[in-house]
Structure 1
Amino acid sequence: MSAADLVNWGFAYVLIGAVMWALMYAGGLIEEALGKASRSSRAIVSIGAIAGWPVIVLVFVAGYINGARGRARS
Protein backbone atom coordinates (compact mmCIF):
# COMPACT_ATOMS: atom_id res chain seq x y z
CA MET A 1 0.00 0.00 0.00
CA SER A 2 1.44 3.34 -1.01
CA ALA A 3 1.65 6.45 1.15
CA ALA A 4 -1.07 8.09 -0.93
CA ASP A 5 -3.41 5.18 -0.19
CA LEU A 6 -2.71 5.48 3.53
CA VAL A 7 -3.48 9.19 3.44
CA ASN A 8 -6.73 8.52 1.58
CA TRP A 9 -7.77 5.85 4.10
CA GLY A 10 -6.89 8.17 6.98
CA PHE A 11 -8.89 10.99 5.43
CA ALA A 12 -11.90 8.72 4.93
CA TYR A 13 -11.66 7.52 8.55
CA VAL A 14 -11.60 11.06 9.92
CA LEU A 15 -14.33 12.20 7.52
CA ILE A 16 -16.68 9.46 8.69
CA GLY A 17 -15.98 10.41 12.31
CA ALA A 18 -16.55 14.09 11.59
CA VAL A 19 -19.89 13.38 9.91
CA MET A 20 -20.99 11.26 12.88
CA TRP A 21 -19.91 14.01 15.30
CA ALA A 22 -21.83 16.60 13.26
CA LEU A 23 -24.96 14.44 13.39
CA MET A 24 -24.63 14.01 17.15
CA TYR A 25 -24.06 17.74 17.59
CA ALA A 26 -27.05 18.62 15.40
CA GLY A 27 -29.20 16.26 17.45
CA GLY A 28 -28.14 17.99 20.65
CA LEU A 29 -26.38 14.94 22.07
CA ILE A 30 -23.04 16.70 22.57
CA GLU A 31 -24.55 19.64 24.45
CA GLU A 32 -26.80 17.37 26.52
CA ALA A 33 -23.99 15.02 27.50
CA LEU A 34 -21.44 17.68 28.38
CA GLY A 35 -23.70 20.30 29.92
CA LYS A 36 -21.53 23.05 31.39
CA ALA A 37 -18.17 21.35 30.82
CA SER A 38 -15.14 23.46 29.97
CA ARG A 39 -14.13 24.19 26.40
CA SER A 40 -11.03 22.01 26.66
CA SER A 41 -13.02 19.00 27.83
CA ARG A 42 -15.50 19.53 24.98
CA ALA A 43 -12.60 19.58 22.52
CA ILE A 44 -11.14 16.38 23.95
CA VAL A 45 -14.50 14.62 23.84
CA SER A 46 -15.08 15.81 20.28
CA ILE A 47 -11.69 14.52 19.16
CA GLY A 48 -12.41 11.23 20.92
CA ALA A 49 -15.77 10.91 19.17
CA ILE A 50 -14.19 11.58 15.79
CA ALA A 51 -11.32 9.13 16.35
CA GLY A 52 -13.37 6.49 18.16
CA TRP A 53 -16.37 6.28 15.85
CA PRO A 54 -16.06 2.51 15.35
CA VAL A 55 -16.81 2.03 19.07
CA ILE A 56 -19.89 4.25 18.75
CA VAL A 57 -21.08 2.17 15.79
CA LEU A 58 -20.50 -1.13 17.62
CA VAL A 59 -22.42 0.04 20.69
CA PHE A 60 -25.30 1.24 18.51
CA VAL A 61 -25.49 -2.04 16.60
CA ALA A 62 -25.30 -4.10 19.82
CA GLY A 63 -28.12 -2.06 21.33
CA TYR A 64 -30.21 -2.43 18.20
CA ILE A 65 -29.73 -6.20 18.15
CA ASN A 66 -30.48 -6.58 21.86
CA GLY A 67 -33.58 -4.41 21.49
CA ALA A 68 -34.81 -6.52 18.60
CA ARG A 69 -34.24 -9.70 20.61
CA GLY A 70 -36.14 -8.21 23.55
CA ARG A 71 -39.10 -7.31 21.35
CA ALA A 72 -39.06 -10.79 19.80
CA ARG A 73 -39.28 -12.44 23.24
CA SER A 74 -42.23 -10.31 24.32
Structure 2
Amino acid sequence: MDARIVDVDGEIRLGQLLKLAGVAESGSHARSLLGEGEVTVNGEPETRRGRQLAPGDVVVVSLPGGDEEIRVR
Protein backbone atom coordinates (compact mmCIF):
# COMPACT_ATOMS: atom_id res chain seq x y z
CA MET A 1 0.00 0.00 0.00
CA ASP A 2 1.44 3.37 -1.00
CA ALA A 3 1.09 6.06 1.61
CA ARG A 4 -0.42 9.41 0.80
CA ILE A 5 1.70 12.19 2.34
CA VAL A 6 -0.11 15.25 3.70
CA ASP A 7 1.98 18.24 4.75
CA VAL A 8 0.56 20.20 7.68
CA ASP A 9 1.72 23.27 9.52
CA GLY A 10 1.63 22.22 13.18
CA GLU A 11 -1.36 20.06 14.10
CA ILE A 12 -4.55 19.07 12.30
CA ARG A 13 -7.72 17.34 13.46
CA LEU A 14 -8.43 13.85 12.15
CA GLY A 15 -11.71 14.83 10.44
CA GLN A 16 -9.95 17.69 8.64
CA LEU A 17 -7.14 15.38 7.52
CA LEU A 18 -9.57 12.84 6.09
CA LYS A 19 -11.23 15.59 4.02
CA LEU A 20 -7.91 17.18 2.99
CA ALA A 21 -6.54 13.82 1.83
CA GLY A 22 -9.70 13.19 -0.21
CA VAL A 23 -10.68 10.07 1.74
CA ALA A 24 -13.85 11.66 3.16
CA GLU A 25 -16.15 13.79 1.01
CA SER A 26 -17.49 15.79 3.96
CA GLY A 27 -17.46 16.08 7.71
CA SER A 28 -20.44 13.75 7.96
CA HIS A 29 -18.67 11.19 5.77
CA ALA A 30 -15.60 11.41 8.05
CA ARG A 31 -17.86 10.93 11.09
CA SER A 32 -19.40 7.86 9.42
CA LEU A 33 -15.99 6.30 8.70
CA LEU A 34 -14.90 6.88 12.29
CA GLY A 35 -18.17 5.59 13.73
CA GLU A 36 -17.91 2.37 11.75
CA GLY A 37 -14.43 1.65 13.14
CA GLU A 38 -12.75 2.03 9.76
CA VAL A 39 -9.93 4.35 10.96
CA THR A 40 -6.74 3.70 12.90
CA VAL A 41 -4.13 6.20 14.06
CA ASN A 42 -0.65 4.80 14.64
CA GLY A 43 -2.13 1.30 14.66
CA GLU A 44 -4.84 2.01 17.26
CA PRO A 45 -8.59 2.26 16.42
CA GLU A 46 -9.84 5.86 16.56
CA THR A 47 -13.40 7.18 16.69
CA ARG A 48 -12.82 10.85 17.59
CA ARG A 49 -13.10 13.23 14.65
CA GLY A 50 -11.41 15.97 16.72
CA ARG A 51 -8.31 13.90 17.53
CA GLN A 52 -5.27 16.14 17.11
CA LEU A 53 -2.63 14.79 14.72
CA ALA A 54 0.96 15.94 14.38
CA PRO A 55 3.77 15.25 11.89
CA GLY A 56 4.79 11.61 12.09
CA ASP A 57 1.29 10.24 12.71
CA VAL A 58 0.02 7.49 10.38
CA VAL A 59 -3.69 7.14 9.64
CA VAL A 60 -5.12 4.07 7.90
CA VAL A 61 -8.68 4.02 6.57
CA SER A 62 -10.28 0.72 5.54
CA LEU A 63 -12.30 1.29 2.38
CA PRO A 64 -14.13 -1.18 0.10
CA GLY A 65 -11.44 -0.80 -2.58
CA GLY A 66 -8.59 -1.34 -0.12
CA ASP A 67 -6.85 0.44 2.70
CA GLU A 68 -5.71 4.05 2.36
CA GLU A 69 -2.64 5.07 4.36
CA ILE A 70 -2.08 8.76 5.12
CA ARG A 71 1.17 9.99 6.65
CA VAL A 72 1.20 13.40 8.31
CA ARG A 73 4.34 15.38 7.53
Note whether the superposition's TM-score is higher than 0.5.
Answer: no
Which one has a bigger Cα radius of gyration?
A: 1
TM-score, normalised via structure 1 length: 0.28
The structure with more strand, counted as a fraction of residues? 2
Name whichever structure is richer in helix by fraction: 1
